[in-house]
């Protein structure tokens, strides 16, 4: 059964920079077939936008709570996103 499309912005806080979190996010999101992007933020968090079938976006958000093995994720804040999302998943420069 197909699920509706979902697009969210997530901000991960904790020890999420310098632990390959962005690269891991690109790999995981690509494996799930999601579109969007990920970037480090100047405040030490990691920000991402995930777009795709709702079940796959929800799965990615579950994975974000763990992250790569060296990460220690404290919180994952999620909100709806209405901005433009290009096809494919990529890493953006810090912002």
For every one of its 95 residues, what pLDDT tens digit does the chain have, with 9 covering 90 and above?
A: 457 999 999 999 999 999 999 999 999 999 999 999 999 999 999 999 999 999 999 999 999 999 999 999 999 999 999 999 999 999 999 98
22 is a catalytic site residue = yes
pLDDT recorded at residue 57: 98
72 is a catalytic site residue = no
pLDDT recorded at residue 82: 95
Give the burial string for 56-88 (b: 16+ CB within 10 Å, else e): bbebbbebbeebbeebebeebebeebeeebeee
pLDDT recorded at residue 2: 57
Options 3.40.1190.20, 3.30.70.100, 1.10.3720.10, 3.40.50.150; CATH for 5-83 is 3.30.70.100
Helix orientation angle between 21-31 and 54-64, rounded to the nearest 10 degrees:
150
Considering 5, 9, 22, 39, which one is annotated as catalytic? 22
- Contacts for 30 with CB less than 8 Å, ≥ 6 apart: 88, 89
Considering 5, 9, 40, 62, which one is annotated as catalytic? 40
What is the C-alpha separation between 21 and 54, in angstroms, rounded? Answer: 22
Give the three-class secondary structure for 6.
strand
């Amino acid at each position: 059964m197909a699920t509706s499309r979902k697009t969210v912005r997530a901000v991960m806080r904790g020890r999420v920079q310098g632990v390959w979190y962005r690269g891991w996010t690109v790999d995981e999101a690509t494996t799930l077939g999601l579109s969007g992007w990920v970037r480090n933020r100047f405040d030490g968090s990691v920000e991402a936008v995930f777009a795709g079938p709702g079940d796959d976006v929800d799965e990615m958000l579950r994975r974000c709570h763990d992250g790569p093995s060296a990460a220690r994720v404290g919180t994952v804040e999620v909100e709806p996103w209405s901005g433009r999302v290009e096809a494919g998943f990529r890493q953006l420069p810090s912002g």
